[in-house]
Amino acid sequence: MNRPIEIINLNGDFKRVSKKVVQQKISNINGQGYLNFNLKEVKLEIESISWVQLVTVERKWPDTIDITIFEDDVVGLWNDQLVLNSSGKVFDVDKRTIPSNLIKFYGPEGTNVTVFERYNIFYKELVARGLILESMTYSLLGSWSFVIRPRVEIKLGKSNLSERFDRFLLVWDESLLDNYDQISYIDFRYTEGFAIKRKE
């Protein structure tokens, strides 16, 4: 019944994850018993590899293991130096492999997850309105802002971010922004209302 494992099928796109690295991680599987083989251990081992988001490991009778690897996506550029993945983690990669149309994220060192979480909240609402996010900034002083196409900066400040962002959405939904493409920035760092600076 407990036959040795003879076949290991590796499935996935392998765009950023090296198949060779995965094979090294699982090199001790061959010859293990089919029934006492530890699926969870192999899954965790492969998920420790950079750019691996999720792994499924399945037994196929009588002597086969199917491993499917799902890779993280590149979401944006962090401080013009590193790339940010779909979990908010940063990686250093060959700059020549980075797409040119990535969203740019800026923030103090170690704040990438915080910035990414805020991005996820804002992004859904912006996309629903056909707005394209170009960049998001979390300053050293703790102030938030983001830029939407065509290079219009939305300043939210340090506090009451949800309320200020909702105010921006309301202004947008009510079509209160005349000649939108002529605006340099919209400042919501007020208790009520907002200020607009036109492009010169």
Instruction: For residue 76, give the nearest of 93, 98, 108, 54 by alpha carbon.
Output: 98
Domain count, the chain: 2
Give the pTM: 0.75
| 146 and 78 belong to one structural domain | yes
The count of other CB atoms within 10 Å of the CB of residue 57 is 22
**173-177: average pLDDT:** 79
Residue 35 structure tokens = 């029934």
Q: What is the pLDDT of residue 184?
A: 94
| 104 and 36 belong to one structural domain | no
The region of weakest confidence among 89-93, 121-125, 161-165, 184-188 is 89-93
- Angle (nearest 5°) at CA 163 between 125 and 135: 50
Question: Is pLDDT at 51 greater than 70 in this prediction?
Answer: yes
Run of H or E including 165: helix 161-173
| 90 and 51 belong to one structural domain | no
Q: What is the pLDDT of residue 4?
A: 86
Q: What is the pLDDT of residue 99?
A: 77
More confident call, 59 vs 156: 156
Run of H or E including 62: none
| 107 and 191 belong to one structural domain | yes
Q: For residue 67, what is the domain's CATH number?
A: 3.10.20.310
The count of other CB atoms within 10 Å of the CB of residue 71 is 19
Tell me if 91 sits within 8 A of 82, measured CB to CB: yes
Question: Is pLDDT at 67 greater than 70 in this prediction?
Answer: yes
User: Which of 71, 101, 126 finishes a domain?
Assistant: 71
Q: For residue 81, what is the domain's CATH number?
A: 3.40.50.11690
Taking the alpha carbons of 49, 50, 51, 53 in that order, is the dihedral positive or negative?
positive
Query: Across all residues in the chain, what is the average pLDDT?
Result: 91
Tell me if 136 sits within 8 A of 103, measured CB to CB: yes
pLDDT digits (tens, 9 = 90+) for 91-149: 887 777 777 889 999 999 999 999 999 999 999 999 999 999 999 999 999 999 999 99
Q: What is the pLDDT of residue 73?
A: 85
Question: Is pLDDT at 15 greater than 70 in this prediction?
Answer: yes
**141-169: average pLDDT:** 96
Q: What is the pLDDT of residue 32?
A: 81
Where in the sequence is the domain holding 64, given as residue range(s)? 7-71
